[in-house]
Structure 1
Amino acid sequence: MRYINELSNKIIGAAIEVHKNLKAGFNERIYQEALQEEMGQRGIKFEREKAINVLYKNMPIGN
């Protein structure tokens, strides 16, 4: 659980840094690129726009 909390804090910190630098008004793609760069600089490994299966009451409803 500690690992998840630490990782969550790092991710939120990266998102806040992007917001502080870019503010509002850009399209989603700009924020995605900036967050990818910021997370890379912080050594946070991730997969961009990874498809995941979504279940609702144990029934698949999309990804």
Structure 2
Amino acid sequence: MKTYPKEVGERDPDNPDHWFWAYCWDEKVNGRWKIFKRLVAREKLEEVREAIISNQPVSEILKVIG
């Protein structure tokens, strides 16, 4: 998962509310690798993290994200 700054100025790296969260994955499309991103709502962050840690396939992680 990637993070992007949400707060202007000083951000707490341990405060998930200070960041935008995105799940990124790559797929081969027409013989070339393409990177996809889906924003993750703060409320679903822990569930997505658990799915990633338990090696769920991309399709299942995307179901969690909604």
Q: TM over 0.5, yes or no?
A: no
Specify which structure has the higher proportion of strand: 2
Compute the TM-score of the two structures, normalised by the length of structure 1: 0.30
Compute the TM-score of the two structures, normalised by the length of structure 2: 0.29
